[in-house]
């Protein structure tokens, strides 16, 4: 009893405030609009401050161990970015000459962000090559000394004519000495960053500019381009135009004999970020444009388009203004919510306007039509808005920020668009009507008829249900059975997307940049470029960690090792130097003697001389290593730090999430013999944690979304039979949806998973509308309900679908996948609500000999009616 009293009291209070609010909108429409526009302007100013964050680690919670370790690593290690200047030419000499000129010009810039520029490992090579013998095994050095001694003895005896040996010892050549001292480098025999055919050379420009610092990055790239231009102009025999870097930021110049292109993470980051920003604008404008176009087609009235356009614009401004206050940024998933929120949020205005035009066709006055549209639609639209917001909000129960922020913005968007509808649309209609009174009388010809009656969006569905209700129902149930058969095997095959290439941006216009980047990777290799950096707490832990990681690597099968090598600064401090130095001193003297005898050719000597141990050969110590060697192990403060570099496996693809998971498991956490724990981080660990978050949060979000949707339906109808009808339709659509996923082989990834939970709340709208209208007057029949509410239901689905469909035009493959999957869910749920549910009711009505009275018009809606009778453009 007390519950009924509370409900009646709340209903009276809501009606009283509703009457006062409507009276204010009718009396002072311009004031209401002015306040709304001012708040929208504030929202737009706030939204303009939103930052777009594209790093994947920003999608994980700040407390995630991999994120904590990454922040610690970035705090201590100089994390910058590189520019690769890729030179292609007809000969090794030409590209080397140009590379040397570019290095000189770039180094002369002396910018604070410039850490260095090199076209090879010349400095490190000059230091390490003459000391290569210190890294060779002692027994090999002794054997080499014996062989050189034997050759010396043979040369002396040969000169004296006293040789009695049948066969001379092997001659001393540069190749034989290099092989035995370990000084060969098949990839860079001359120290240059060159391809194997020597026609491509890479100049590596290292900067201190962090990823995402776009302003400094663009300025740095412009300065490097200018330096490259000046180097080309100064090169003898090569016209300046041959190497002008006037191509686009991602391109290469192909005029003249030399071709110069730009790549590297700084260049790629600039191109990707610019492309993403353009993509966000393109998708947002396309999505809003599509949904407004279908609204215009439905109502065929300019005032309807103006009202819905302004309402959704204000709703979006409020939504993203609140986003700036609550979150402060967008990520790679939430940046595309403009199109989605517009498609979903427009439904409230559509339903309001449909009822408004229906009342005006019934000769109601402007105040009466606005009051009735407000009173008859707000309870149900608010219920649906809360259900949709709850579906989005279910994503807030996850730890993955791509989901959490998506859920918050989507939920805020539903609430904001609902308020925008009931605050802005009524005074807009008043102002427009005062300026140009609405004429509802049918005009002449087809256009006049359509303006009066609109386009019957529901007509194809009504025709199918009327002509073949049994066939429609049985076909729907057969599809459910088919989905139940194909979905379990699909689930058992692991529907997760493991190919990371299918989640990347697809930049057709950036193909030249990617071609140049591929050349740079071929020259520089991918092991250390895409490898991991592990930061120890002290130098004492470095070697222990290296040994532990190497043991973990060696325990794996040869073709499935998680990484190829582990590098530390201690790799440059060979063992047993005290014993090796005397042998190398002897070897140096012997080689010089043999050379003096003329037993080493000039060609071999030119190649061998750089490897000759110095006269004052001293043991290598950590503090004696040059900067060129210690640079990869140097911290931000300039000190050499306890870093371990893990080189990824060359026979494994870092685009394969299976491999990234193995690599992450191998480096994520290592316990040293002392009991200390060292954690690793980086791209593989971040992606592994992202996948873990998806797998962990997916069931929770889906279950919560489903629970909240069911609760909203139960609260709205409160009658078991109606609840079952609405939920049966929703269940039918969801099962079809899952079956279509299985048949098409759609893979779940970090972004398209969002489509699953939000489908429940948004698509439940369609079944709720059909069931609610049918329940109001069951004797009129389901076809009458479809003719009354079906057009707006189809329109609501169309606007939502088009909002998602705009995502299919994105350059990002993951976002395209989200759009396609969400569209699939919309189609399935709409078909269930507008075909199978009505078909089953029609079949039941005919089988019980109770005529559906399809031609009977719908009865007038009572004051307490919920979201309902609406039609297009006066239909």
Other beta carbons within 10 Å of 281: 12
Per-residue confidence (pLDDT) for residue 209, from 0 to 100: 83
Per-residue confidence (pLDDT) for residue 396, from 0 to 100: 81
260 within a domain of the structure (yes/no):
no
Strand partners of residue 634? 640
Strands 643-648 and 532-535: antiparallel
70 within a domain of the structure (yes/no):
no
533 within a domain of the structure (yes/no):
no
**What's the pLDDT band for 867 if we cut at 50, 70, 90?**
very low
pLDDT at 2 over 60: no
pLDDT at 750 over 90: no
Per-residue confidence (pLDDT) for residue 23, from 0 to 100: 87
pLDDT digits (tens, 9 = 90+) for 784-823: 888 877 887 888 888 888 888 888 888 888 888 888 998 9
Please tell me the distance from the alpha carbon of residue 11 to that of residue 263, in angstroms, as a whole number: 65
- Shared domain check, 279 and 165: no
- Shared domain check, 317 and 437: yes
- Shared domain check, 345 and 453: yes
- Shared domain check, 691 and 598: no
**What's the pLDDT band for 755 if we cut at 50, 70, 90?**
confident
779: Cβ contacts below 8 Å, ≥ 6 apart: 853
pLDDT digits (tens, 9 = 90+) for 519-567: 888 888 754 456 788 999 999 999 999 999 999 999 999 888 999 999 9
pLDDT digits (tens, 9 = 90+) for 231-262: 877 654 444 333 333 344 444 444 458 999 99
Give the total number of structural domains in the chain. 2
Class of residue 489 by CB neighbours under 10 A (exposed 0-12, middle 13-18, buried 19+)? exposed
- Shared domain check, 341 and 454: yes
Over residues 753-768, the mean pLDDT reads 78
Report the sign of the C-alpha dihedral through residues 650, 653, 659, 661, in that order: positive
pLDDT digits (tens, 9 = 90+) for 136-173: 899 988 998 888 888 888 888 877 777 666 677 888 88
- Shared domain check, 712 and 606: no
> What is the model's pTM?
0.78
Other beta carbons within 10 Å of 486: 15
- Shared domain check, 494 and 587: no
Please tell me the distance from the alpha carbon of residue 441 to that of residue 426, in angstroms, as a whole number: 22
Residue 240 is classified by DSSP as G
Helix axes 720-744, 837-847, angle to 10 degrees: 130
Class of residue 214 by CB neighbours under 10 A (exposed 0-12, middle 13-18, buried 19+)? middle
pLDDT digits (tens, 9 = 90+) for 434-485: 888 887 665 555 555 555 555 678 889 999 999 999 999 999 999 999 999 9
Please tell me the distance from the alpha carbon of residue 168 to that of residue 164, in angstroms, as a whole number: 10
What is the phi-psi region of residue 494: left when phi exceeds 0, alpha when psi lies from -120 to 50, beta otherwise? left
Among the listed ranges 190-199, 268-277, 404-413, which one has the minimum average pLDDT value? 268-277
pLDDT digits (tens, 9 = 90+) for 289-321: 888 888 888 887 888 889 999 999 999 999 999
Residue of 830, 826, 859 lying closest to 343 (CA atoms): 826
**Portion of the chain with pLDDT greater than 90, in percent:** 30
- Shared domain check, 585 and 486: no
Question: Coil, strand, or helix at residue 327?
Answer: coil
Per-residue confidence (pLDDT) for residue 257, from 0 to 100: 80
312 within a domain of the structure (yes/no):
yes
CA distances 22 to 197, 306, 371, Å, are: 79, 20, 7
CA distances 481 to 485, 742, 776, Å, are: 6, 13, 32
Please tell me the distance from the alpha carbon of residue 127 to that of residue 624, in angstroms, as a whole number: 11
318 within a domain of the structure (yes/no):
yes
Strand partners of residue 515? none
What is the phi-psi region of residue 454: left when phi exceeds 0, alpha when psi lies from -120 to 50, beta otherwise? left
Strands 81-88 and 51-52: unpaired
Among the listed ranges 162-171, 427-436, 649-658, 761-770, which one has the minimum average pLDDT value? 162-171
pLDDT digits (tens, 9 = 90+) for 703-724: 888 888 888 788 777 777 888 8
- Shared domain check, 450 and 318: yes
**Can you tell me which residue has the tokens 């009129």?**
780
**Residues making up the chain, counted from first to last:** 875
**What's the pLDDT band for 684 if we cut at 50, 70, 90?**
confident
Beta strands in 437-582 (DSSP E): 532-535, 563-567
**Can you tell me which residue has the tokens 């180097």?**
231
Beta strands in 632-741 (DSSP E): 643-648, 669-671, 677-679
CA distances 194 to 24, 97, 267, 618, Å, are: 76, 12, 20, 32
CA distances 167 to 147, 150, 174, 667, Å, are: 14, 12, 21, 55
Question: Coil, strand, or helix at residue 192?
Answer: strand
Class of residue 698 by CB neighbours under 10 A (exposed 0-12, middle 13-18, buried 19+)? middle
733: Cβ contacts below 8 Å, ≥ 6 apart: 763, 767, 825, 828, 829, 830, 831, 832, 833
CATH number (domain holding residue 799): 1.20.1640.10
pLDDT digits (tens, 9 = 90+) for 87-126: 999 988 999 999 999 999 999 998 888 888 999 888 888 8
**Segments forming the whole domain that contains residue 433:** 21-52+271-500+687-874
pLDDT at 754 over 90: no
Token digits of residue 643: 């870093």
Asked which of 611, 637, 667 is the last residue of a domain, the reply is: 611
**Can you tell me which residue has the tokens 């400094």?**
216
Over residues 724-741, the mean pLDDT reads 90
Tell me if 343 sits within 8 A of 349, measured CB to CB. no
Per-residue confidence (pLDDT) for residue 427, from 0 to 100: 94
117: Cβ contacts below 8 Å, ≥ 6 apart: 102, 103, 106, 107, 203, 204, 205, 206
370 within a domain of the structure (yes/no):
yes
What is the phi-psi region of residue 264: left when phi exceeds 0, alpha when psi lies from -120 to 50, beta otherwise? left
Other beta carbons within 10 Å of 677: 10
Class of residue 663 by CB neighbours under 10 A (exposed 0-12, middle 13-18, buried 19+)? buried
224 within a domain of the structure (yes/no):
no
Residue 330 is classified by DSSP as E
Asked which of 591, 611, 631 is the last residue of a domain, the reply is: 611
Other beta carbons within 10 Å of 715: 12
What is the phi-psi region of residue 78: left when phi exceeds 0, alpha when psi lies from -120 to 50, beta otherwise? beta
Please tell me the distance from the alpha carbon of residue 712 to that of residue 354, in angstroms, as a whole number: 23
Per-residue confidence (pLDDT) for residue 445, from 0 to 100: 55
Per-residue confidence (pLDDT) for residue 443, from 0 to 100: 55
**Can you tell me which residue has the tokens 């090796």?**
580
- Shared domain check, 691 and 606: no
pLDDT at 760 over 80: no
pLDDT digits (tens, 9 = 90+) for 586-622: 989 988 888 888 888 888 888 888 888 888 899 999 8
**Can you tell me which residue has the tokens 């439904």?**
347
Residue of 82, 58, 52, 497 lying closest to 275 (CA atoms): 52
Residue 650: alpha-carbon gap to chain centroid: 25
Please tell me the distance from the alpha carbon of residue 789 to that of residue 875, in angstroms, as a whole number: 11
Per-residue confidence (pLDDT) for residue 6, from 0 to 100: 43
42 within a domain of the structure (yes/no):
yes
- Shared domain check, 491 and 601: no
Strand partners of residue 205? 83, 117
Asked which of 611, 633, 658 is the last residue of a domain, the reply is: 611
């Amino acid at each position: 009893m007390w519950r009924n009293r509370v409900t009646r009291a709340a209903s009276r209070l809501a009606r009283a405030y509703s009457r006062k609010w409507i009276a204010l909108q009718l009396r002072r429409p311009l004031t209401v609009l002015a306040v709304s526009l001012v708040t929208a302007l504030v929202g737009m100013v706030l939204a303009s401050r939103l930052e777009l964050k594209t790093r994947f680690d920003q999608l994980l919670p700040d407390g995630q161990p991999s994120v904590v370790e990454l922040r610690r690593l970035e705090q201590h290690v100089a994390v910058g970015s590189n520019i690769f200047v890729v030179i292609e030419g007809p000969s090794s000499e030409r590209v080397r000459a140009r590379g040397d000129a570019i290095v000189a010009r770039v180094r002369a810039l002396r910018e604070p962000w410039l850490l260095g520029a090199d076209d090879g490992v010349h400095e490190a090579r000059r230091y390490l090559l003459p000391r290569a013998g210190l890294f060779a095994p002692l027994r090999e050095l002794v054997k080499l000394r014996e062989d050189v001694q034997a050759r010396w003895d043979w040369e002396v005896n040969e000169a004296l004519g006293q040789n009695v040996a049948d066969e001379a010892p092997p001659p001393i050549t540069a190749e034989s000495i290099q092989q035995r001292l370990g000084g060969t480098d098949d990839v860079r025999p001359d120290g240059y960053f060159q391809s194997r055919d020597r026609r491509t050379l890479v100049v590596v420009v290292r900067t201190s500019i962090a990823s995402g610092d776009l302003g400094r990055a663009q300025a740095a790239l412009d300065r490097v381009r200018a330096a490259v231009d000046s180097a080309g102009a100064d090169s003898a025999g090569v016209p300046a135009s041959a190497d002008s870097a006037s191509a686009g930021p991602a391109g290469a110049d192909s005029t003249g004999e030399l071709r110069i292109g730009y790549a590297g993470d700084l260049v790629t980051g600039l191109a990707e970020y610019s492309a993403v920003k353009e993509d966000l604008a393109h998708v947002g404008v396309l999505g809003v444009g599509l949904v407004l176009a279908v609204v215009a087609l439905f109502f065929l009235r300019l005032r309807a388009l103006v009202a819905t356009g302004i309402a959704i614009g204000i709703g979006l401004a409020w939504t993203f203004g609140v986003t700036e206050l609550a979150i402060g940024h967008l990520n790679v998933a939430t940046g595309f919510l403009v199109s989605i929120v517009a498609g979903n949020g427009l439904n409230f205005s559509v339903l309001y306007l449909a009822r408004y035009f229906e009342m005006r066709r019934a000769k109601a006055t402007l105040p009466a039509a606005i009051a009735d549209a407000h009173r008859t639609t707000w309870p149900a639209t608010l219920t649906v808005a809360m259900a949709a917001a709850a579906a989005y909000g279910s994503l807030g129960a996850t730890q993955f920020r791509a989901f959490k922020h998506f859920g918050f913005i989507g939920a805020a968007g539903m609430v904001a668009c609902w308020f925008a509808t009931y605050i802005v649309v009524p005074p807009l209609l008043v102002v427009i009507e005062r300026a140009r009174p609405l004429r509802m009388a049918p005009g002449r010809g087809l256009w006049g008829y359509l303006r009066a009656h609109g386009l019957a969006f529901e007509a194809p569905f009504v025709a199918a249900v009327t002509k073949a209700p049994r066939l429609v129902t049985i076909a729907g149930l057969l599809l459910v059975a088919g989905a139940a058969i194909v979905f379990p095997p699909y689930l058992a095959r692991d529907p997760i997307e493991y190919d990371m290439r299918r989640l990347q941006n697809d930049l057709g216009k950036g193909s030249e940049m990617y071609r140049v980047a591929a050349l740079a990777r071929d020259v520089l290799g991918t092991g250390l470029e895409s490898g991991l950096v592990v930061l120890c707490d002290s130098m004492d832990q470095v070697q222990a960690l290296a040994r532990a990681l190497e043991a973990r690597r060696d325990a794996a099968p040869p073709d499935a090792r998680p990484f190829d090598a582990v590098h530390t600064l201690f790799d440059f401090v060979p063992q047993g130097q005290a014993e090796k130095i005397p042998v190398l001193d002897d070897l140096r003297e012997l080689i010089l003697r043999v050379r003096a005898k003329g037993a080493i050719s000039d060609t071999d000597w030119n190649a061998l001389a750089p490897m000759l141990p110095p006269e004052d050969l001293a043991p290598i110590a950590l503090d004696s290593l040059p900067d060129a060697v210690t640079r990869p192990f140097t911290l931000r403060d300039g000190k050499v730090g306890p870093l371990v570099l893990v080189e990824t496996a060359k026979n494994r693809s870092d685009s394969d999430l299976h491999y990234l998971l193995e690599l992450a498991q191998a480096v994520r956490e290592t316990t040293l013999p002392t009991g200390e724990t060292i954690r690793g981080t980086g791209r593989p660990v971040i992606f592994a944690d992202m996948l873990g978050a998806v797998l962990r949060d997916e069931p929770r979000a889906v279950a919560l979304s489903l629970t909240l949707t069911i609760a909203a339906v139960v609260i709205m109808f409160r009658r078991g039979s109606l609840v079952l009808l609405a939920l049966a339709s929703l269940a039918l659509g969801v099962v079809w949806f899952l079956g279509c996923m299985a048949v098409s082989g759609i893979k779940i990834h970090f972004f398209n998973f969002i489509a699953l939970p939000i489908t429940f709340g948004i698509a439940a709208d369609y079944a709720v509308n059909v069931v609610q209208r049918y329940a109001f007057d069951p004797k009129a029949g389901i076809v009458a309900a479809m003719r009354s509410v079906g057009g707006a239901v189809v329109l609501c689905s169309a606007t939502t679908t088009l909002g998602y469909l705009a995502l299919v035009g994105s350059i990002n493959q993951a976002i395209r996948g989200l759009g396609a999957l969400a569209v699939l869910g919309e189609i399935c749920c709409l078909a269930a609500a507008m075909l199978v549910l009505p078909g089953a009711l029609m079949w039941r009505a005919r089988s019980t000999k109770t005529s559906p009275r399809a031609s009977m018009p719908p009865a007038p809606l009572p004051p307490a009616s919920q979201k309902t009778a609406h039609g297009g453009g006066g239909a």
